[in-house]
Amino acid sequence: MSAVATVQPRAMRDTLLLSLYEAMLLDRNIFLVTADFGSPVMDNIRADIPDRVINVGIAEQNLINVSAGLALEGFKVFAYAIAPFITMRCFEQIRVNLALLSELRPMNVNLIGVGAGYSYVVSGPTHQCYEDLTVMRALPNMRIYSPADQMMAAALPARCLASNGPKYLRLDAQVLPVLYADALPNFADGFHEHRKGKTVCLLATGYMVHTALKAADALAATGFSVGIIDLFDLCGFSEEQLQSVLCAYRGVVTMEEGFRGRGGMDAMMFDYIVRRGLDIRMLNIGVEGEYRFELGERHVLHEHVGIGVGSVTEKVRGFLKSLPV
Amino acid sequence: MNMLQLDADVIERLNAKAQWVWEETLRIHRRSQETRVASSLSTIEIFVTLYYGGFMRFDPDNPIWEGRDRCIISKGHGSLCMYPILADLGYFPKQELERVCQAGSFLGGIPDPVIPGYETVNGSLGHGAGVGAAMALGLKCKGKDRMVYVVTGDGELHEGSNWEAFMFAAQHRLDKLVVLVDNNHISMLGPTDEIVSHRNLVRKFDAFGWSAREVVDGHSVVAIANALLDCQRDTSGKPKAIIVNTRKGNGVPGLENAPLSHVAAIKPDLIDQLLGERR
């Protein structure tokens, strides 16, 4: 699927909040709760629907508890904060009052975390987020959506409003190229196959889908054709459908903007492959596990930690050569 | 709301219920020695006054009836005494009290909303104030004139999340929110004043924008009822706090106000002696 120039590139949070704004105008049961985190679109929502936009202040624990309390009273809630803070500052509140309580009481709470991976480039490791997939996927009942572009982000509110349960929406903070200008992927599948290839498939999420596309181009220039899958519903994808796609390959490369080998998407795919008995080799690409403090452009930082286009291309090339003929 | 008239009959009835709940709580603890009984003996009169004193609207046949007043039992470990109350009110059969902490029972050592009448998960401390505040806000937005009571412990107030919630409640003028602090002055490892002192909780709540009052004798149903009535008459528009000074392990020699009473068990012989029962 190719980008279309008529779609104005915007940040994911803006397209998502715009969709949410429209939904809030129609449905008085929707609340937007923020931990003193905003955006220009948020300013409009605050101005037009002040009674259903709640700023709890810089208080993420209370952000979650307030969201849970409103949800128990039947409201549909979107909680909004910077990704590492909305997932890890208040993890126990999420565990107790969302993951655990939703087992017993119906609730619709959607955590919007802005700043996946390195997207807050100059803010350093406190604001960057490489652990959220690990901690959030540890929770039963928690659904994780990790969109790769603004169109997917814009589609999430309707999707979230249609189904109960707690969800984590992992948004990039930067403006990324548009991938789904013509049509959205099938949400029921939970993934989208961008390209078919031979031998190896790159299975990426969020920003790393863009890296996968570039790496695939680089590999194609040297005669390697690899497939590309955007996995955006990390806990609810169709296992059967994904298997039907992966069965065409001998190897799969997981690509995440999170720590490698610490329970993120790589562990999830390992579990999936073992559980389903798939005959496929796997390479995991993720941030090599240490906190770093260098400043630089995102693609440069990515090369430092082994997830840049160059690093990925080399690792995939080596993986291809390692596969049995 | 069915306002309580504090005549002699009502007082006698509340005192009788409090005595019965105290005895039933000990009987449960005799059968299930792993239950945290000391914390549950300090809250008895709080719950008895709320549930039997006309301060709570509820429907045991429909525990999450929309028209109910909400009671968030944030110090879940200290609510063993709620089991006989809920059974007595008809939330579940009294026979279930025989099976507390046994395999297959829904009545665990720390209550969860699998128990009819419990609103939230209560095992971890510091959650009730924020959830309860938001429920009060939600009810206010829906135009529902319903109370939200949150019962918390003084040790629990060491959790910072409470104070985030208290600021939030004051900001939104959640005047139907009443926090009752079971101020038994003892945390797991000793007196709260020696761990991290709250100093003056009434003044603290007041400084946080609440209307706060103190109940000197937290084992007096009359004093608690008067404080709750005072909250009803309060037109300040502020959320309300009642600091209820209680005794951990109330009424049990050796346990009452013992610094390390939190996880202490009462020997069955002593329970029999206290209840005047022969086995």
* CATH code of the domain occupying B8-275: 3.40.50.970
A23 in contact with B, Cβ within 8 Å: no
Q: How far, CA to CA in Å, does B136 sit from each of A66, A155, B57, B142, B169?
A: 10, 31, 15, 10, 9
Residue A264 pLDDT more than 80? Answer: yes
Task: Based on the fold, state whether residues A233 and A288 are members of the same structural domain.
Answer: yes
Mark out chain B residues that contact chain A at CB-CB < 8 A: 64, 112-114, 119-121, 123-124, 126-127, 129-139, 141-142, 160-161, 164-165, 167-168
Domain boundaries, chain B: 8-275
B114–A67 CB contact, under 8 Å: no
The answer on A140 and A250 residing in a single domain is: no
From the CB of residue A43, how many other CB atoms can be counted at a distance below 10 Å? 12
**CB within 8 Å: A66 and B119:** no
Answer yes or no: do B113 and A101 touch at CB < 8 A: yes
Q: Indicate yes or no: CB of B168 within 8 angstroms of CB of A97.
A: no
Q: What is the least distance, in Å, from the CA of B39 to any CA of chain A?
A: 22
pLDDT over threshold 70, residue B1:
no
Lowest-confidence region among A261-270, A286-295, B176-185: A286-295
Please indicate whether, in this complex, the C-beta atoms of B165 and A68 are within 8 angstroms of each other.
no
Residue A4 inside a domain? The answer is no
Among A55, A63, A66, A103, the residue to mutate for chain B (most B Cβ within 10 A)? A66
Region B219-234 average pLDDT: 97
Residue B166: list chain A partners with CB under 8 A: none
Asked if residue A120 belongs to a domain, the reply is: yes
Domain check: are A129 and A219 in the same one? Answer: no
Establish if A52 belongs to a structural domain. Answer: yes
- Domain boundary at A171, A201, A220, which? A171
Q: Do A97 and B139 touch (CB under 8 A)?
A: no
User: Which of B166, B168, B172, B177 to mutate to probe the A interface, most A CBs <10 Å?
Assistant: B168
Interface of A with B in 98-127 (CB under 8 A): 100-101, 104-105
Interface size A-B, in CB pairs within 8 Å, comes to: 91
Q: Read off the pLDDT band of A6 (50, 70, 90).
A: confident
pLDDT for the residue numbered B5: 61
Helix (H) or strand (E) holding A19: helix A12-26
B278 pLDDT band (50/70/90 cuts)? Answer: low
pLDDT in tens, A243-253: 999 999 999 99
Contacts for B80 with CB less than 8 Å, ≥ 6 apart: B25, B28, B29, B35, B36, B37, B40, B100
Choosing from A119, A136, A171, the residue where a domain stops is A171
Bridge partners of residue A79, in order along the sequence: A33, A111
The string of pLDDT tens digits covering residues A200-230 is 999 999 999 999 999 999 999 999 999 999 9
- Contacting residues of A for B131, CB less than 8 Å apart: 65-66, 68-69, 72, 97
Using a pLDDT cut of 70, give the percent of chain A over it: 98
Which pLDDT value is given to residue A197? 97
The pLDDT of residue B168 is: 98
Amino acid at B238: K
Tell me if A68 and B123 make a contact (CB, 8 A cut-off).
Answer: no
Kindly state whether residues A99 and A213 are assigned to the same domain.
no
* Cβ contact A72–B132 (<8 Å): no
Whole domain around residue A26: which residue ranges? 12-171
CATH number at residue A236: 3.40.50.920
Residue A45 lies in a domain: yes
Q: Is A68 on the interface with B (CB under 8 A)?
A: yes
CA dihedral A183, A186, A192, A193 (to 10 degrees): -80
Asked whether the beta carbons of residue A65 and residue B130 sit closer than 8 angstroms, the reply is: yes
Residues A100 and A234 in one domain: no
At CA A55, angle to CA A234 and CA A176, rounded to 5?
Answer: 40
pLDDT in tens, B21-68: 999 999 999 999 999 999 999 999 999 999 999 999 999 999 999 999
Residue A1 clears pLDDT 60, i.e. is over it: no
Closest by CA position to B140, among listed B132, B151, B150 = B132
Q: How many other C-beta atoms are found inside a 10 Å radius of the C-beta of residue A184?
A: 16
SS3 A223: coil
For residues A292-314, average pLDDT: 96
How far apart are alpha carbons B72 and A14 in whole angstroms? 37
Residue A175, min C-alpha distance to chain B (Å): 33
- Same domain membership, residue A165 and residue A72: yes
Q: What is the mean pLDDT of chain B?
A: 95
> Are residue A127 and residue A203 in the same domain, yes or no?
no
Q: Give residue A289's pLDDT.
A: 77
Do A163 and A258 fall into the same domain? no
In a domain, A225, yes or no: yes
Q: Is A241 exposed, middle or buried (0-12, 13-18, 19+ CB in 10 A)?
A: middle
Percent of chain B with pLDDT over 90: 92
- B263 pLDDT band, cuts 50/70/90, is confident
Quickly state the pLDDT bin for B2 (edges 50, 70, 90): very low
Q: Tell me if A274 is assigned to some domain.
A: yes
Interface contact B168-A56, CB threshold 8 A: yes
Which residues of B are less than 8 Å from A54 in CB distance? 137
User: Could you report the per-residue pLDDT of A57-75, keeping only the tens digit for each?
Assistant: 999 999 999 999 999 999 9
User: How high is the pLDDT of residue B11?
Assistant: 94
Q: Mark whether A195 and A162 lie in a shared domain.
A: no
Nearest 5 degrees, angle CA B107-CA B110-CA B112? 70
B169 by DSSP, 3-state: which? helix
Q: Is A217 on the interface with B (CB under 8 A)?
A: no
Tokens 């129609």 sit on residue: A26
Flag if B130 and A57 touch (Cβ within 8 Å).
no
Chain B residues lying within 8 Å of A70, measured CB to CB: 134-135, 137-138
pLDDT for residue B91: 98
Helix runs in chain B, H state only: 8-31, 37-42, 44-52, 82-89, 128-141, 160-171, 192-196, 201-207, 221-233, 268-275
Nearest to A70 among B138, B161, B167 (CB): B138
CATH label of the domain that carries residue A157? 3.40.50.970
A161 and A232 part of one domain: no
CB-CB neighbors (< 8 A) of B65 in chain A: none
* Residue A101 domain flag: yes
Asked whether residue A267 is domain-assigned, the answer is: yes
Residue A4 pLDDT greater than 90, yes or no: no
* A144 and A18 co-located in one domain: yes
Of the partner residues A69, A92, A104, the one whose CB lies closest to the CB of residue B134: A69
For residue A65, list chain B residues with Cβ-Cβ distance below 8 A: 127, 129-131, 133-134, 161, 165
Count up the domains in chain A and report the number: 2
Confirm or reject contact between A49 and chain B (CB < 8 A).
Answer: no
Top residue of B127, B152, B162 to mutate, by most chain A CBs within 10 Å, is B127
Residue B209 to residue B237: CA distance in whole angstroms: 10
A81 in reach of chain B (CB within 8 A): no
Q: Is residue A49 scored above 50 in pLDDT?
A: yes
Give the strand pairing for B186-187 and B190-191.
antiparallel
Give the ipTM of the model, two decimals please: 0.96
Residue A136 shares a structural domain with residue A201: no
Contact at CB, A68 and B164, closer than 8 angstroms: no
Residue that finishes a domain, picked among A171, A204, A230:
A171
DSSP-H helix ranges across A34-178: 40-48, 60-72, 83-84, 91-94, 132-137, 150-161
CB contact under 8 A, A72 and B120: yes
Question: What pLDDT sits at residue A5?
Answer: 54
- What's residue A3's pLDDT? 46
Facing residue for B135 by CB, picked from A54, A69, A93: A69
The residue among B264 and A21 whose pLDDT is bigger is A21
pLDDT in tens, B153-208: 999 999 999 999 999 999 999 999 999 999 999 999 999 999 999 999 999 999 99
